[in-house]
Amino acid sequence: MKAPPLIMKCREAVKKSGYYMMIVGLPGTGKTFLLRTVPNPGRSLIVDFEGGLRSVSDCDIDAAPLTSSADFDRLLDEIESGSLVGQYDLLFVDSFTALADLVLSEQPDDPKLFKQKYGVLMSKILDYSSRFRHMPINVVATAGINRNIDTGLYEILTPGQQLPGKLGFLPDFVGATRVKEKADGSVEYGIQFAPRAPFEFCKSRDPHHALGPFEKPNLAEIFQKLTDAETKAIKLRGAA
């Protein structure tokens, strides 16, 4: 097999990977509901670590309910270079928190290996996040959050301790699902992408400014905005 080129044009390098988006939030704020809004359900795959798909059981989306990190590693290999190459446009991981719980449960339950156990956890979840960023398709991973009692701010957590700051740096987007009460008493669901209290970790690596600080909870619309903005930027550069 011919080795891939080491040097290419920027536009080709960008095409080698999709967007990596982490969506975090409290229970009941609409993280799993986002599955109903994926751009192309027939070309989307959900990896279910939580067993929480009952609310979207009527959705015609392929699902992989996994109970081991080894199976997840094998699935990622198949998407990147195996039998599933080109079959999917989007991978939905529900959730990163449950994946971290699974990785931790697979480590030896020996008090003497406590530090080693959490060291393996940190290493593996950072490896997964880095891999998501370089996947040839879009990746959306959900995660839970918890309030820091000292600062009052919400943080993305793994079992027993806070995720390394680098984990929040790796995704292109980190959004928090929000439920806002409007003046008339109704509620509005959305995704916050701006780093505003109490979700200081939110971010949007969005050079074309396609997304606002608070977007409707619709992945199809969000990805379409990103695609349209990128296409427009390419046309403008070509006309210059």
pLDDT, tens digit, for every residue of 161-213?
555 556 678 899 999 999 888 888 888 899 999 998 888 889 999 989 999 99
Packing angle, helices 96-105 and 114-133, rounded to 10? 140
3-class SS at 121? helix
Q: How far apart are the first and last CA of the chain?
A: 39
- Beta partners for residue 175, in sequence order: 23
Give which of 129, 118, 145, 105 is closest to 24, Cα–Cα. 145
DSSP annotation of 90 reads E
For the record, the structure tokens of 177 come out as 């699902």
Give buried/exposed letters for 114-136 (b at 16+ CB in 10 A, else e): eeebbebbbebbeebbeebbebb
3-state secondary structure of 1: coil
pLDDT of residue 144: 86
Q: What is the residue-averaged pLDDT of the chain?
A: 86
Of 52, 83, 49, which Cα lies nearest the Cα of 68? 49
Q: In the predicted model, what is the mean pLDDT of residues 71-78?
A: 97
pLDDT at 161: 54
Calculate mean pLDDT across residues 84-103.
Answer: 93
Domains in the chain, CATH or no CATH each: 17-239 (3.40.50.300)
Cα 223 to Cα 58, 166, 173, 202, distances in angstroms: 23, 24, 11, 17
Q: What pLDDT was estimated at residue 53?
A: 81
Contact by Cβ (8 Å): 133, 17: yes
Return the amino acid letter for 188: E
Whether 8 shows a pLDDT value over 80: the answer reads: no
pLDDT at 70 over 60: yes
Give residue for tokens 């109490």.
Answer: 198
DSSP state of 59: S
- Model confidence band, residue 109 (pLDDT cutoffs 50, 70, 90): confident
Q: Which of 95, 88, 102 is nearest to 48 (CA)?
A: 95
Closest Cα to residue 211, out of 219, 202, 222? Answer: 222
DSSP-derived secondary structure letter, 34: G
Residue 145: partners with Cβ closer than 8 Å, 6 or more residues away: 24, 25, 26, 154, 155, 156, 157, 176
- Confidence category of residue 4, pLDDT binned at 50, 70, 90: low
pLDDT tens per residue across span 124-150? 988 999 999 999 999 999 988 887 777
**How high is the pLDDT of residue 41?**
93
